[in-house]
Amino acid sequence: MKKLIPQFLYSSKAAQKFALCFAMIIGGAAEIKAQTKATWIWYPGDYEIWLSNKMQNRRTERGSFFPPFWKLDSHYVLIDFHKDYNLSSAEEAEIAVEGQYNLKIDGKAATGYPKTITLPAGKHRISLKVYNQGSVPAVFVKSPHVVSDTSWLVTFEDKEWIDASGKTSDVSATQYVPAGAWNFNAATSTPSQFRLPTVPQKAVSQDKKTKSILVDFGKETFGYVKLHGVKGKGKVTLYYGESKEEALDTKGGELLDIVDADQQHSGDITLDGSRAFRYVNVQYDGDVSVNDVSMLYEYSPVEQRGSFRCSDEQINKIWDVAAYTMQLNTREFFIDGIKRDRWVWSGDAAQSYLMNYYLYFDSPTVKRTISALRGKDPVTSHINTIMDYTFYWFISIYDYYQHSGDKAFIKQSYPGMQSMMNYCLSRRNTDGLMQGLSGDWVFIDWADGLSKQGEVSFEQMLLCRSLESMALCANIMNDTKGAEKYSALAKDLKAKLFNYYWNAQKHALVHSCVDGKPTDNVTRYANMFGIFFNYFTEAQKQDVKKYVLMNDQVQKITTPYMRFYELEALCAMGEQYYVLKQMKDYWGGMLNLGATSFWEEYNPDKKGAEHYAMYGRPFGKSLCHAWGASPIYLLGKYYLGVKPTAPGYQTYVIEPQLGGLKWMEGAIPTPKGDIKVHCTTNKINLSSATGTGVLRIKSKSKPVCKGETLKSLGNNTYELSIQKDKAYAVQYTAI
């Protein structure tokens, strides 16, 4: 299932009925070819908030509902949509709306709830005002030349009143913004009925006893269990397991479902709730019998455009399992892990975005996740209550712009960025630094004994980068004053970072200041970020590499989450050989233990079922966690070596690094097509469907490319300019 064809299912009977009814009403109108594509539209960001509420409230723990502990926001319930059009002749438009609505032409309302309207010729305004409390106010309009799309404008307060004589108010103060949309491109594809598609999957083995069946699906999977041939009356209990141990531990597993069966005749039962598992232990009492157990695999139909293959089969396997781990965690949003939370966690998502740029380049999922995380004003706590997660959110927006070149999304997000940053700035201490105030979670990483006291250097570094991201976005918004303010704040904080935390004896940033004094504790976090944020001097980088990153005396990282950044720092310093070995040890270590997806945490020192425990619970650990998939990112960005140097890959660089591999090849998705690289120790083949690139390589000999001139930068380094839609074959000698 490498390339999934987008497909949406609408399960509710109401939706089907509506579809039928709609078809009868609009009749032959569909034959006229539309100039542009009609799509369902809404207030930007609102569908994302609504859908994330729905998704984040699906978590259960041993059969109990387990919702998030932060504030969930809501969509605006009353929205005005409009479009000014100019038609040479009158047209008939189809209208579909989610909510109670009126439909106006030039401010004059049609009676009732029309399903079609005649759009008069000439310049006119069509507007719809929609109220919907339970789901998002949304409209779909389609005539040959007038269609609902993101060129429509929307507002949540139109300030359109009249005085006693009937004179209309000045509505110039009304704030209109472009409508939001996704890909609901048919009147019957109502946004509120959206569900991810499913496909049936069979178990690979079955162990059937008198009153139980234990099935194994062969690998980590996700979806709805289907019980076949259920007959009789009694209780059927499903114990799910990411491991066999978990499925068999009826007292200690994380997930279970109970079905009260009462079937005179044998029939199938599909569970309502989606669950993560490899094994399902189905136990039944009374006179219930169950024939078989299968499942409906639920997935997001994003297209896997990125690829990677190399001479090392273990690395290939790691990449494949990482891609599968990403697939499972790429759902309505990028979630943390499929078994437990299934929530949108900002720090986790920030990594998923980066992996996504090298696997799917699915911008809608990135944008949905960023919008959902922000929610609405007022800000009452950090994102997910975690200080560092707020900062990742800022940084990820500029990152998204750098990869996609999508200014419209910056424009949509900027007001929310400003109020979020105001919240952060208001929580600085008198010294301008941030420490965890009451109610703030300073997370950093899961690591034993990690101090969160005082002002942690890592948090200041992330805040500094967030302020830099704000300044960049302010410039995109032409907010000169804002750009100046954020730049000045970033500069000031960066100076403090080195004044307060750099310890020359330790050759590193120390972990924190407590009671105004720097501690002498050195941890990896701020030090590894300082490298790829490029905050260090060259000398400092070498110091940090030696005294921190390559120093076993400094507390080791046991989560793939922080290994992501640790290995990125090492790659940024050219340590691809070392990192390849680390990948094989760490991710290979999980594979050796039978992992079919990558874990939330992996400590090679643990044994057997110890690996499954976390949070004080025997199976608390998630065995399929998005942050486990970082090899996709590392191999794409630092081995194939492709990254954008101007927004949306207008320009980019390719710096292949074999890191000990004999050969490697792969595709990197970009907004306008793929960049393809094949690299051996003496030959590089590449082509690009986008922008203008630079191939930068080290070679013992002067590289040769037919019909092209390579520029020598000295120090055995050469550059070749890459034009789009052209194939290049370069002869060189790897160092």
Footprint of a copy of itself (CB under 8 A)? 50, 53-54, 57, 61-78, 100-102, 109-113, 129, 131, 133-135, 156-167, 169-170, 172-174, 258, 377-378, 380-381, 385, 437-441, 446, 601, 614-617, 620
CB 342 to a copy of itself: min, Å: 14
Distance, CA of 611 to CA of 244 (rounded, Å): 13
Nearest-angstrom CA–CA distance, 275 and 257: 9
Nearer residue to a copy of itself within complex by CB, 381 or 645? 381
CB atoms within 10 A of CB 157: 12
Bond prior to 378 in cis (omega within 30° of 0): yes
Minimal distance, residue 112 CB to a copy of itself, in Å: 5
Q: With contact defined as beta carbons under 8 Å apart, do 282 and 292 qualify?
A: no
To a copy of itself, the closest distance from the beta carbon of 332 in angstroms equals: 15
CB of 516 to a copy of itself, least distance (A): 22
CA 512 – CA 520 distance, rounded (Å): 8
Q: Within 10 Å of residue 615's Cβ, how many Cβ atoms?
A: 12
The SS3 of residue 155 is: strand
Q: CA-CA distance, 206 to 484, in Å (whole number)? A: 65
Nearer to a copy of itself, 111 or 210 (CB): 111
Nearer to a copy of itself, 28 or 65 (CB): 65
Of 160 and 216, which CB lies nearer to a copy of itself in the complex structure? 160
What kind and span of H or E run contains 86?
strand 78-87
**CB of residue 386 to a copy of itself, shortest distance in Å:** 9
| Nearest of 47, 28, 29 to residue 38 by alpha carbon | 29
Q: How far apart are CA 342 and CA 61, in angstroms?
A: 12
Give the bridge partners for 722, in sequence order: 693
Measured from the CB atom, is 65 or 210 closer to a copy of itself? Answer: 65
Q: Which is nearer to a copy of itself, 165 or 709 (CB)?
A: 165
The 3-state DSSP class for residue 544 equals helix
Is the CB of 241 or the CB of 703 nearer to a copy of itself? 241
Nearer Cβ to a copy of itself (285/492): 285
Q: Could you tell me which residues are beta bridge partners of residue 241? A: 279
Q: Which is nearer to a copy of itself, 221 or 346 (CB)?
A: 346
Q: How far is the CB of 23 from a copy of itself (least distance, A)?
A: 20
Look at strands 517-518 and 642-644 and give their pairing.
unpaired
- Residue 36 to residues 4, 143, 146, 188, 466, Cα–Cα distance (Å): 25, 10, 8, 18, 38
Max alpha carbon distance in the chain (Å)? 86
CB of 253 to a copy of itself, least distance (A): 13
Q: How many CB atoms lie within 10 A of CB 490?
A: 19
Pairing of strands 642-644, 100-105: unpaired
* Minimum separation from the CB atom of position 620 to a copy of itself (A): 7
Nearest approach, Cβ of residue 561 and a copy of itself (Å): 11
